[in-house]
Structure 1
Amino acid sequence: MKVSCEPIEQCQVALNIEAEAIELDKYMKLAYNHLVGRVAVPGFRKGKTPRSILEQHIGRGAFLQEAMEHMIPDLCSEALKDQKIEAIDQPSIEVIQSEPVKFKVVVPIKPSVKLGAYKDIRIELVKKEITDDDVEKTLEQFRSQKATLIPVDRPVQFGDVITMDIEAKEGDKTVISRKGAQYEVVKDSYLPLPEFSEKIVGLAKGGEIEFTLTYPEDYKIKQVAGKEYQLKVNVGEVKEKKLPELNDEFAKEAGQDTVAALKEQIKKSMQETVDARGRQEFEQKSLDSAVDMSDVQYPPIMKQREIERILREDVKNFPDGVKGFERYLKSINKTSDDYPKEIDEIAHKRLRRAIVLGKIAEEEGVKVEEQEIDAEIERMVSGSERQEDLKKFFNLPQSRDSISETLLTQKALKVLTDITSGNAAESK
């Protein structure tokens, strides 16, 4: 075969391949062997039709097509091996002509990345301390969740819970239509629409109101920016929240002996949450800073695979899988064709982060040892009643590779954040 090879944009290599006559003849013979037993020709038993008769019967084009289905993948693999090209996914193949057989192969290869001066990045890990006021606010929310609803004969106030019939239209399209909906009237709430709750305050049981909510083009909530809604609301029952008394009995219901112990537990839990969030934001800023100063290229198929991965992750969030996901898309006026376009940028960012972090791991000599994978498997199965079954699964080569990738990412991110926080320099 004749092969010409040239690199093209986005980490791809183009191969132009022309099959030699001797190669085509070999695969035409192979095609004959495949077809002769499948095609019935009048006057001949299956498997006994001469090649020239069989080719005349089905047409040279069909014969050639059968030959190329086997020849092209074989020649493609041979060309990749000869040219020492390592494909990271299936190549795309385009047949240029059939006689002589010429075809073009576009091969996705490893992404390329030129790191910036990531060792010069410095970012402060901001630590927020939970205050007594934070604890009191959380405690009030907890009490609110445990509140008793008492019907009242007065106009609606903030903090009340009402039942209502609501209809909202955007032009001729109905976007909300519910009977007997329960709604908590919270000041500055964005639900069901911004500024809605303020319109409800002051209405009495049985009261009805029609109003319009208009949002400017530059409104902070993009979903409603530049839109206008016509609403009609009829208030049913009005209920007031009666909060439970904050005492040791309340604390016991929450799993603590005293109010003081409950507050301490809330403060500890909130601090752990805010510390984890702060650390996550710090890691994200560190990685994004490294990504922003790097030149990253990757083949298009990688983004397509990442979009597919994100879709699979999203579908898993619905108990009934794809059907539930499609219902959700329909509820937000989207289709399964729209969604991949919306997550295109998310996939792009995830890829760039992963590629840069992988390169940093390589530069810094970060590795994962087999014993680290073993230890992680032990941690993952700890406490399970099916430890042996899980161990067998996690010790499969594919599972171990996945665990290794996760550990490598964690270790590389730790190295990067040590650098960006200045800890790496201090330890030298």
Structure 2
Amino acid sequence: MKSTITKKPKSSVELSVTVLASEMAEFFNQALKEVQKDFALEGFRKGNVPEDLILKNTGRQYIEAQSLDIAVQESYVTALKEHKLNPVAQPKIDIKKFKVVGVGHIQPVETRGVASVLDDQPALEYTAQLDVFPEIEIHDYKNVKIKKDPKALEVTQSEIEKVFDHLRKQRAKLETIDRPLKIGDWAEINFEGSLEGVARDDMKSNNYPIILGESQMIPGFEEQLIGLKKGDTKKFPIIFSKDYHQENFRKKRAEFEVTIIDTKERIIPEIDDKFIKDLGHDKLEDLSVAIKDSLKQEKETVAHTKLENDILDEILKRTRIDLPESLVEQEVDRMLVESKDRLAKVNFDWQRYLDQIKKTEEDLKKEMRNAAEKNIKVGLILGKIATEEGIDPTAKDGAHKVMEKLVEYARN
């Protein structure tokens, strides 16, 4: 067997393989033995049918087809080892030549493969197009320096007061009212809407709870409910903003019809001794310190995550990886399945989602490519650095240990 490789862009390789007639004869015999194991013929025990009768009953072409499969599989693996190739996906095989002497008739057992005078002649030639594990070149990852924000961990009095306000609203009590709604009130509503005159299922809901002024709905919606009372119904238009997060809604006109099912006033407690004790503290100062410490921990977590992301972004700039197309496609497919699973968990139909955003799966795949490429590159980078740092890249905490090392380098 002979094989050569030709390197191509995007970590792709063309493997050219030639199998000689003498080798093909061995694969032919191997295929015949495999068929013989399960071959049944009247007058013989299973597995004991003579080979010439098997050839007569199956036809030589059938055995040759089986031998071709075996020859390609075994020669391909041998060629991979010879050239130290690490494929990342199944190859595309293209048979250029396959010819065995004696096709169409039965030869004696000793010559049934290929005539001996042609032993050194090519009997099988094929190419295999395959994507291989890419080469990774990282420049000076130990010397990555990230500029720190000196105010990133500061906790302001305004932030503490926002937490107090949130805690008060969490403990608010609801009391039924018989007056028009105002900002801060709670309401239960039924609503349905249309976009450019077309009714949409994703713009309707029943028994939907809302607090006026909390910006739960699209801008302008909650303000339309001010002054309404329980039992009232109101129709009103809203124009979506030009920067609305769903592109297919931007600058379009919507019509809503809302019915008020119930109305209540929120009674928000004051910060008194009972409020403080309910939160597990004796003094206001102690509660303030606890809130400040909690906010600082949150900021430290956010800052650490940002530091890790900044380090990886900088290392990505210093890295050369020629990603194989098949790896990118696999990651895009994984991300697509993940998106479908998320929607399935909330019982949202995938096709309905595509219809709403007015995109196809192919559109989403194109949008996912950049993120997919980054995911793969980060994974490959962490794996290579792990190896260089003596960390097992396959360990459950391997990536975590690598990031700890990179953060350590960045801080020194």
Structure 1 and Structure 2 fold alike (TM over 0.5): yes
Q: How many pairs align?
A: 380
**For 1:328 and 1:256, how far apart are their aligned partners in 2?**
47
1:262 to 1:243, Cα distance in 2 relative to 1, 3 A: same
1:59 to 1:218, Cα distance in 2 relative to 1, 3 A: farther
- What residue in structure 1 maps to residue 124 of structure 2? 101
- What residue in structure 2 maps to residue 395 of structure 1? none
Which runs of 5 or more structure 1 residues have no equivalent in the other structure? Answer: 370-397, 419-423
1:203 positional shift: 2.0
Contact 1:329 1:336 in 2 (8 A): no
Contact 1:367 1:408 in 2 (8 A): no
**For 1:47 and 1:361, how far apart are their aligned partners in 2?**
52
**For 1:402 and 1:138, how far apart are their aligned partners in 2?**
37
1:96 to 1:201, Cα distance in 2 relative to 1, 3 A: farther
- Computing the radius of gyration from Cα coordinates, the structure with the larger value is 2
1:289 positional shift: 2.9
User: Does the alignment pair 1:412 with 2:406?
Assistant: yes
1:354 positional shift: 3.5
Contact 1:358 1:412 in 2 (8 A): no
**For 2:8 and 2:347, how far apart are their aligned partners in 1?**
38
- What residue in structure 2 maps to residue 77 of structure 1? 77
- What residue in structure 2 maps to residue 324 of structure 1? 345
Give the alignment partner of residue 390 of structure 2, picking from 364, 367, 372. 367
- What residue in structure 2 maps to residue 27 of structure 1? 27
1:165 positional shift: 0.8
**For 2:124 and 2:261, how far apart are their aligned partners in 1?**
77
- What residue in structure 2 maps to residue 57 of structure 1? 57
User: Does the alignment pair 1:131 with 2:128?
Assistant: no
1:182 positional shift: 1.4
User: Does the alignment pair 1:186 with 2:196?
Assistant: no
Which runs of 5 or more structure 2 residues have no equivalent in the other structure? Answer: 100-122
- What residue in structure 1 maps to residue 303 of structure 2? 278
- What residue in structure 2 maps to residue 151 of structure 1? 176
- What residue in structure 1 maps to residue 288 of structure 2? 263
1:33 to 1:174, Cα distance in 2 relative to 1, 3 A: same
User: Does the alignment pair 1:236 with 2:235?
Assistant: no
Give the alignment partner of residue 174 of structure 1, picking from 189, 195, 201. 201
CA displacement, residues 328-365 of structure 1 (integer Å, 9 cap, x when unaligned): 74664479956665543322112223344555667xx6
1:76 to 1:25, Cα distance in 2 relative to 1, 3 A: same
- What residue in structure 1 maps to residue 114 of structure 2? none
**For 1:198 and 1:88, how far apart are their aligned partners in 2?**
60
Contact 2:88 2:133 in 1 (8 A): no
3-state SS of 2:396 partner: helix
1:279 to 1:408, Cα distance in 2 relative to 1, 3 A: closer
**For 2:28 and 2:132, how far apart are their aligned partners in 1?**
32
1:263 to 1:244, Cα distance in 2 relative to 1, 3 A: same
User: Does the alignment pair 1:402 with 2:396?
Assistant: yes
**For 1:212 and 1:121, how far apart are their aligned partners in 2?**
52
Query: What TM-score, normalized by structure 1, do the two folds share?
Result: 0.76
**For 1:341 and 1:52, how far apart are their aligned partners in 2?**
56
User: Does the alignment pair 1:206 with 2:234?
Assistant: no
**For 2:306 and 2:145, how far apart are their aligned partners in 1?**
15
1:217 positional shift: 4.7
1:141 positional shift: 0.8
**For 1:330 and 1:125, how far apart are their aligned partners in 2?**
44
Contact 1:164 1:233 in 2 (8 A): yes
| Percentage of identical aligned residues | 21
User: Does the alignment pair 1:89 with 2:106?
Assistant: no
**For 1:120 and 1:409, how far apart are their aligned partners in 2?**
13
**For 2:282 and 2:338, how far apart are their aligned partners in 1?**
41
User: What is the CA RMSD across the aligned residues, in angstroms?
Assistant: 3.3
Contact 2:144 2:314 in 1 (8 A): no
**For 2:81 and 2:213, how far apart are their aligned partners in 1?**
67
User: Does the alignment pair 1:38 with 2:63?
Assistant: no
Query: What TM-score, normalized by structure 2, do the two folds share?
Result: 0.79
- What residue in structure 2 maps to residue 111 of structure 1? 134
CA displacement, residues 208-230 of structure 1 (integer Å, 9 cap, x when unaligned): 12223222554455463254432
**For 1:255 and 1:236, how far apart are their aligned partners in 2?**
37
CA displacement, residues 27-48 of structure 1 (integer Å, 9 cap, x when unaligned): 2212112212323346655334
Contact 2:6 2:13 in 1 (8 A): yes
